[in-house]
Chain A
């Protein structure tokens, strides 16, 4: 069974940093591209970042480029999101999501981890 479990969310002050993790199991993690997607009540679902299976291709939403860094450790079946210079508008539930091998879609999602940026 495919499982994605996020962790690392919490309350952080504006300007602070946080590192999210996503532990994958039930599939060959190293063969799949992965994504981070966030959700806020006001802005809905927003794609945040993408990393290819070998980490050779990485992309970011304009809203986080230069502040967030996506990475992965295929040996540990783990995906990460380092978030720096956090702003109030980064407050959201963050999901890691697997990209389907053929289909350009997100076929499995984790349960999400809440990040709250507030003083």
Chain B
């Protein structure tokens, strides 16, 4: 299976900050990389698909980039509702998820 490694595992930020989360695949996954947001006691929610496609209803402050093995999720001007855990997921082969990045105040 392809291993997905996220960094950092947690970070502290303030409202208005720009936040960057990195995801690295153990082998090339082309552009088959998705990002999800999960809040406590809730199901994951799709944010970005295929590296940079913004899911309907997701604010434009969320963006994604990368290809091959290295990918980035960026949140511009962090809002209070953005404090959550973020997961990357590859869909190049048998789906696997990163370990998550918890964004805390």
Mark A residues whose CB is within 8 Å of B.
Answer: 35, 44-47, 59, 61, 95, 100, 103-112
Contact = CB atoms under 8 A, between A and B. Distances in A.
Contacts of A46: 97
Interface of B: 32, 34, 36, 42-46, 49-50, 53, 55, 87, 89, 91, 94-100
A95 B95 contact: no
Given A109-B44, A111-B43, A45 B50 contact: no
A47 B46 CA distance: 15
Contact of B32 (A47, A95, A104, A109): A104
- The DSSP consensus for interface residues of chain A is strand
A109 B36 CA distance: 11
Given A47-B94, A95-B43, A111-B43, A105 B50 contact: yes
Given A100-B49, A105-B49, A105-B91, A45 B55 contact: no
Nearest to B56: A107
A44 B95 CA distance: 13
